[in-house]
Chain A
Amino acid sequence: MTGENFKPKILIFAAEMAYRGIDAAGLMKAEYPATTYVIRIPCASMLRPDLILYAFKKGFDGVFVASSGEDCPFLTDCVERTAERIEKAYDLLQENGIERERLKLAGICSVCVEAFVKHVNSLYETLKKLGPIKKG
């Protein structure tokens, strides 16, 4: 299932502020693909690299970690900590033969509608080119 009919499935881990940013995107009626699924978490620094790998192994074509960025109400250095997790996740992806372009990290603030839509759409386009993930 590639080409025009392939609709990549994206898992979005949305931290506190990013969740609000995605709310705001809805409020502004900003459009992005419907095959995007949000899991709400308080702070992106709780993400275990192995959990990200798990999502791919189970069949998500892409994972978008939407952190609260500089606005994180939990940690002042949330950006750095989350980046560390993502670096480790990239290593895991490489070991498992999964393209690193499938994983994306960005800070999304509570009103960052444009940034959110831009990131989701660009990841979606990338995934369309890469094709579906190999499960298992």
Chain B
Amino acid sequence: MVNDRIGVYVCHCGGNISDVVDVYKVVDAVKDEPNVVIAREMMFTCSDPGQKQIEDDIKEFNLNGVVVASCSPHLHETTFRRAAARAGLNPYLLEHVNIREHVSWAHKHDKEGATEKAIKIVKSGIAKVREARALETIKVEMPPKVLIVGAGIAGIRAALDLSKLGIHVYLVEKSPFVGGRVAQSYNAYPSGKFGMELIEELINEVKQQKNITLITNAEVTSIKGVIGNFSVEIIKDPRYVVADCPRFKEAIDKCPIEVPNEFDYGLTNRKAIYYPYPNAYPELPVIDMESCNRCGECVKICGDAINLDQQPEKMRIDVSAIIFATGFDPYQPNEGEFGFNVFESVITLPQFERLLALCDKKLVYKEREIKDIAFIYCVGSRQREGNEYCSRYCCVATINSALAAIEKFGEINTYHIYRDMRTYGKYERYYEEASKKGARFFRYSLDEPPEITQKGEKLIVKVKDKLTFNEEIELPVDLVVLSVGMVPRKSEIFSMLKVPFSRDGFLQEVHPKLRPVETAIGGVLIGGACQAPKDSVEATASASAAAAKAATYLLKGYAELEPFIVEVNLEKCTGCGDCVKECPYDSIQLKNINGEEKAFVIEAACRGCAACAAVCPEEAINLRGYTYDQLRAQIDAMLM
């Protein structure tokens, strides 16, 4: 039972193909192949008239298979499959072969060879279509519920977008308060608003929404299932503050414990019962039980609002899709890297931003007023070994902080010791403005990094400046700020779902341009800096994109998956279970079918790698659209 009425279309692509490949000769060579009923050359097959011709032929000749030989299927396979579908042909009975990128462009000095090659691969396409079967996309029900992990600026943005479309969002945040890294930043470029204000504005919107369930102080401990049906376990740690009370401030004042406040990177202290910063959300404070001595002073003031014996709570939710918005960590310099942890006046950019926020009128660090600051760029970025990537946001963020320092505290000298200045796009004006305001720039190379020494009260930064032909310059400063990049966060849940990582350790999209916010795992999307270093503008843009992508199937109520998954020939299957062991996604299992153990495919979970098919001793498993019979037929045809 083969497809016996096949149409073949060989494209000129203007001249992109036909200048090298003799398309007439190709048509001539295949028109009498068995089962080919019509073969044509076409000037532009992808054009409207080109598509129309295919559609007309499908109807006129009652075609049950089509081969289009033109550009790469990554360009126009979908175009031609849609054309086939419009004419009533199952779109998977169309095979797109590539005689442009793989032939005419690659072999332009061997026209004869290119034409021969085109003939062979068109024949191979015909052979494949002959064996092709009609396939249906896999439909998966999608109840409108989404889990978003991480309530930083990206997670909140995505939650708002989805909620406004009527989709329910579970927004899970590990720390007791929302806002993430942006809340900690000083004035986030380019709006010039304080990070906390941005978060507050978004949270005010969240409060208007009925579709957002915010779960803070909670960790996702397990995710099982597939697109349309993820079962998620969450453990909500006790906050110990269980109800509102008008006297929280008194309770906090009364608390006898003082520990460094992580939110300010230890620049300030907090109590055991605390808010990390004023206006933090949720409005209930939290008790840090690791430092609490259970003295009970706060209970005396707030009574039942505080329960020191509150227990962790296990929750289970079902969702159709997941968006990871888990963010990044700032690079933590090594002991002694540019004097870090050796000299107390060497701090990182995130610490500096907190310092800017906390100081009033005068910029003071460790009780000394700061007048001269050296910023060292590319710390922990673009290394030869280690973090090879550029975090990109740091150049702009550093200059922006320097400008903010000058604006807030007046006379401050800033020295910028950089490798390459990447104030890309709209942000070049920050660089220009800094230059106008007296910022001085020095350029160092990776091989000769600046050295830091102490001289009296000052730190001396010695830099070999490439801008002045390697002149050695010594800069006496009060503070050295290390412009650190972003590093990926690790989490058990990523490996639970087997989300792929990029070379740099961030979460990897399927394709940077074609599918920028989807991961290889169906229904698992990424937004914000968990994907790659991003500033808050890029983070919210990608978060909105992830929300929109999730909405495309959630609003339809179902997702359509490509039909290229494996299937089992039950007659051949002996139930040996080799395939079950091979599948990394638990999508194939043994099941009793009519009294016999047989391999059984969970269609929504199969990702179509077909690793199982390769190890089957009986060749009982095949990948739809790429069956071994088809591959063998292709091989045969290429050698004819």
Contact = CB atoms under 8 A, between A and B. Distances in A.
18 contacts: A7-B113, A9-B638, A34-B110, A35-B113, A36-B117, A37-B638, A41-B631, A45-B614, A46-B609, A46-B610, A46-B614, A47-B614, A48-B614, A49-B614, A51-B631, A70-B503, A73-B511, A74-B607
A54 B113 CA distance: 24
A110 B98 CA distance: 16
A7 B120 CA distance: 15
A79 interface: no
Given A22-B101, A42-B608, A58-B639, A29 B106 contact: yes
Interface residues of B, number: 49
Interface in A1-56: 7, 9, 11, 19-20, 22-27, 29-43, 45-49, 51, 54-55
Given A11-B638, A60-B635, A74-B607, A30 B623 contact: no
A74 B635 contact: no
Contact of B102 (A38, A46, A77): A38
Given A11-B635, A23-B98, A26-B101, A42 B610 contact: yes
B106 A46 contact: no
B120 A37 contact: yes
Given A31-B109, A39-B635, A45 B609 contact: yes
Contacts of B107: 31-32, 34
Tell me which of B124, B626, B632, B638 has the highest count of chain A C-beta atoms within 10 A of its own C-beta. Answer: B638
Contacts of A48: 613-614, 619, 628
Given A48-B613, A76-B500, 4 more contacts: A42-B623, A47-B614, A73-B511, A85-B614
Nearest to A57: B635
Nearest to A9: B639
Contact of A45 (B124, B503, B611, B626): B611
B393 to A, nearest CB: 24
Interface in B582-637: 584, 607-611, 613-614, 619, 623, 626, 628, 631-632, 634-636
Contacts of B607: 74
A46 B73 contact: no
B520 A74 contact: yes
B193 interface: no
A134 interface: no
B100 interface: yes
B635 A46 contact: no
A55 B635 contact: yes
Given A9-B639, A38-B121, A27 B101 contact: yes
Interface string B41-55: 000000000000000
A84 to B, nearest CB: 9
Nearest to A41: B626
Contacts of A24: 101
B611 A75 contact: yes
A39 B636 CA distance: 12
B490 interface: no
A100 interface: no
Given A23-B72, A29-B108, A43-B611, A51 B632 contact: yes
A76 B498 contact: yes
B639 A60 contact: yes
B141 interface: no
B623 A40 contact: no
Interface of B: 72-74, 98, 100-110, 113-114, 116-117, 120-121, 124, 498, 500-501, 503, 510-511, 520, 564, 584, 607-611, 613-614, 619, 623, 626, 628, 631-632, 634-636, 638-639
A108 to B, nearest CB: 13
Contacts of B628: 48, 51
Contacts of A131: none
B564 A39 contact: no
A78 B500 CA distance: 12
A26 B102 contact: yes
Contacts of A58: 635-636, 639
Interface residues of A, number: 47
B117 A37 contact: yes
Contacts of B110: 34
Contacts of B103: 26, 34
Nearest to A120: B106
A76 B587 CA distance: 16
A81 B101 contact: no
B520 A22 contact: no
A54 B638 CA distance: 13
Interface string A68-94: 001011111110010001000000000
The 7 closest A-B pairs by CB, nearest first: A34-B113, A26-B101, A46-B610, A74-B609, A26-B105, A45-B611, A23-B101
Tell me which of A9, A19, A32, A60 has the highest count of chain B C-beta atoms within 10 A of its own C-beta. Answer: A19
Contacts of B500: 73, 76
Contacts of A85: 614
A132 interface: no
Given A60-B639, A73-B500, A37 B124 contact: yes
Contact of A54 (B105, B116, B626, B635): B635
Contacts of A31: 106-109
A60 B635 CA distance: 9
A29 B16 CA distance: 12
A78 to B, nearest CB: 8
Contacts of A25: 101, 106
A78 B498 CA distance: 13
A51 B510 CA distance: 28
A77 B584 CA distance: 9
B637 to A, nearest CB: 10
A90 B110 CA distance: 33
A73 B100 CA distance: 25
B74 A23 contact: yes
A23 B102 contact: yes
B609 A75 contact: yes
A59 B109 CA distance: 26
B614 A38 contact: no
A26 B100 contact: yes
Tell me which of A33, A35, A42, A49 has the highest count of chain B C-beta atoms within 10 A of its own C-beta. Answer: A42
A35 B611 contact: no
A44 to B, nearest CB: 9
Contacts of B116: 34-35
A73 B623 CA distance: 16
Nearest to B120: A37
Given A39-B634, A73-B510, A81 B611 contact: yes
B610 A43 contact: yes
B98 A30 contact: no
